[in-house]
Amino acid sequence: MASRPAQPAGRRAGTPERRVELPRRPGRQRRAHLHPGAWWLWSLSLGTAATRTTNPLLLALLISVSAYVVATRRPDTPWSRSYGAFVKLALAVILIRLVFAIVLGSPVPGTHTLLTLPELPLPAWAQGIRLGGEVTAEALTFALYDGMRLATLLICVGAANALANPSRLLKSLPGALYEMGVAVVVALTFAPSLIADVQRLRAARRLRGRPDKGIRGLLHVGLPVLEGALERSVALAAAMDARGYGRTAQVPPGVRRTTAALTLGGLLGVCAGTYGLLTAEGAVYGLPVLLAGLAAALAGLKLGGRRSLRTRYRPDRWDVRAWLVVASGIATAALLALAAARDPAALHPGVVPLVAPALPLWPAAAVLLGLLPAFVAPDPKELS
């Protein structure tokens, strides 16, 4: 007599077996990060807009726009905390500009004397330079406006550092900059480890009751740190060599020369065009030279990328959101440049006579266009 198969545990005899299919959990769609280049173009455009005006109200509005976007779209990462350092640097720039105006004087004439410092006599060959003397309210106001412009530019650059992931930005570099990108990635990777090694060794010396400051402490802490960094560098070099880093394709000599000429000429054009945009005298030729330099540099980088034989894992895509972010910054810079050409008195308020600056309406509305990334860029909390 054949034995009956054993019943599964938890199942009664004689009851039919039912298979219950659990509903599938919907797969979480991977939301793409915003391209880091879009953040840099947006912030540099705001910085360009800041160079077109000395109106403190517009500059304060630009700072507020960048700060709001950083507050809403900054990820919770160590590199994103650099915005506060740039704000402190901007405040230091304003303070230094005011100190220079007090000590060295200012070419701006004024009638409202705040204080008088003892003036040092200088030789005849130092004409035009003054140490001490009268400090007027007009001179300090002019120095404050000028310092705020540079401070706003620094804060806009700080916004890019806080929003754009440096490793993703380096991964998006063209193939012609491959070696430079690898070097920067290695530096960004090893710098935090060096700091952690220093903190660990100093804590260990403090626990043992040994000095961790001064020349003696530096020698006892610095040498092990340098030795560990050298060992890691050798190990990294061996690993990179085993994985084929540095392998390049054969490119004809004519292509190499053309690449070098286009890249060098393009970079010179970008420098000349940027200088033209930042100065009032070169506003006519600045934009065409900048565009021509960008085109030549991009063509050189495209040709130079033929030497690099590599692929990218999950490359960042330049999607509609990136175009909207960049368009908002470029629109702000273009509209402020147009306002500076049509109504320079509104964007560059005078200090003689000393009057309160007014807020021009449509340039202020143009600055508010820079808030668009706060609404179209992906939320970092949803991406984590």
Convert the pLDDT of each residue in 31-42 to its tens digit: 567 888 899 999
Round to whole Å and give the CA distance between 131 and 361. 41
Q: Give 28's pLDDT tier (boundaries 50, 70, 90).
A: very low
Tell me the average pLDDT across 222-235.
Answer: 76
Per-residue model confidence (pLDDT) at position 282: 61
pLDDT band for position 263 (cuts 50, 70, 90): confident
> Among the listed ranges 65-74, 338-347, 367-376, which one has the minimum average pLDDT value?
338-347
Question: Mind listing the pLDDT tens digit for each residue in 94-139?
Answer: 999 999 888 887 777 777 778 877 777 777 776 667 777 788 888 8
Is it the case that residue 156 has pLDDT exceeding 90?
Answer: yes
**What are the beta bridge partners of residue 117?**
133
Would you say the pTM of this structure is higher than 0.85? no
Report the pLDDT value the prediction gives residue 288, as an integer from 0 to 100.
85
Residue 20, pLDDT score: 42
Write down the pLDDT at residue 14. 44
Give the amino acid at 183: A
User: Is the model's pLDDT at 151 over the cut of 90?
Assistant: yes
Q: Taking a C-beta distance cutoff of 8 angstroms, is the pair 140, 97 a contact?
A: no
Dist. CA 221–CA 224, nearest whole Å: 6
pLDDT tier at 379 (50, 70, 90 boundaries)?
A: confident
**Can you give the pLDDT at residue 61?**
95
Mean pLDDT taken over the chain: 78
Split at pLDDT 50, 70, 90, the class of 290 is confident
